[in-house]
Amino acid sequence: MTERPKRQVVDVSGGSLFIDLEDGRVRVRFPLFDVEAEGADRDEAFEQLVPLLREHLSSNEAAQQAFSEWAQEHIIEVEMTDEEIAESRELENLVERGKKIGKEFRALDAPSFVSFVASATPVVVDFWAEWCQPCHMLAPVLKEVTDELSLPVGKVNIDEYPDIWEEIPSNGIPTLAVYTNGRRRGIVVGAGRSPDELKAELQPFLS
């Protein structure tokens, strides 16, 4: 029998302290931060705890570091559901399709980047990395839009050419940058856009 796929999760529930109260309710406390919540049962109490933990971590860098260290020691494997397996396979297919399409874009190094962005008409540079799944998933959308707008596309691997990437005012990939005559006209950060949405974000930089 084939073993069911598993995924790694941080066992926050297992690292929490559950207390049965006299009124039948349950209190749960996350000892690392002394954050607690109550509910009618363990599941409800934990559901109430999770957003409180997220809020505590959202703006507290020290807490984020402490949780990251704690999480490394509380990772467990759980079997994936049928829905999770289907989503995982769909994601793999999207990434593989994106990798194939991404090969159609011109790979730029430092010298060719300079000449590419010097174009008198707008060009798009895709800043990406091999390990970045959203970068691969963006490729089909980017190709559809740039084909429609007749925009040349070049791509820069930020791991291979960090000096080029350091000049871009972005802290995440994928990042698309539009250039004309060597001047950066604007950037679009992130994936998850439809072709129409991406086109609408690029167009202000094309005129």
Is residue 138 annotated as part of the catalytic site, yes or no? no
Q: Which of 37, 117, 132, 138 is catalytic?
A: 132
Is residue 132 annotated as part of the catalytic site, yes or no? yes
Q: Match 């998933």 to its residue by tokens.
A: 137
What residue ranges in 21-132 does DSSP mark as E strands? Answer: 26-30, 35-39, 75-79, 106-107, 123-128
Cβ burial of 89 (10 Å; 0-12, 13-18, 19+) is exposed
Q: Which of 135, 137, 142, 188 is catalytic?
A: 135
Instruction: Give me Rg for the CA atoms of the chain.
Output: 23
Q: Count CB neighbours of 183 within 10 A.
A: 9
Q: Which residues are catalytic?
A: 132, 135
